[in-house]
Structure 1
C-alpha cells in the first residue's frame, strides 16, 4: 500500500511525540546537582526545544505567496 503525505505527517508527529517523551524521561533522570555549564544537560535542553519546534511546525499553517496575494497582510484579491 502506498503511503500518503498525511500518513507520513501522522508518523512524523508520532515519532516526535515518542522522542519528546523519551527525552523528558532522560532529563528527569539526569543526576543532580546540575551546574549551569553542564554541556550534556544543556544539549538535552536544546534537543527538547528542537523537538517542540518541529512539532509546532508540523501544525503551523504556511502562507504560500501567489501573484494575487504577495504577502499575508495583502488579503484576498477578488476579480
Structure 2
C-alpha cells in the first residue's frame, strides 16, 4: 500500500467526509417524520451529521504554532 503525501491525505479525508455528510443530509431529508425522542435511527443520523460536520471544521482549523519574532537560532 502506497502512502499519500500528507496534504493529499487530508484532502481525500475532506472529500470523503463531505460525501458522507451529503449522504446523511439526503437520508435525513427523506426520513419519515420521527416521533420525538423515540426514534433511535433518526437520533443516530443527527448525531452522525454533527460528528461529521465537526470533523470537517477540525480539518479546516489551523493550529497556532508559536514562532520566535526573530528567525535566528539564538532567538529561541
Match of 1:30 in 2: 31
| Root-mean-square deviation (Å) | 2.0
| Equivalence for 2:58 | 57
Q: Which has the higher contact order (CA 8 A, sep 6+)?
A: 2
Task: Provide the TM-score with structure 2 as the length reference.
Answer: 0.77
Instruction: Tell me how far 1:63 sits from its aligned partner.
Output: 2.7
After the TM superposition, which parts of structure 1 deviate over 4 Å for at least 4 consecutive aligned residues?
75-79
Which digits, 9 at most, give the CA deviation of each residue in 1:9-63, with x for residues without a partner? 000000000000000011011112x111111101100100000000000000113
- Return the alpha-carbon distance in structure 1 between the equivalents of residues 11 and 21 of structure 2: 15
Structure 2 residues without counterparts, runs of 5 or longer = none
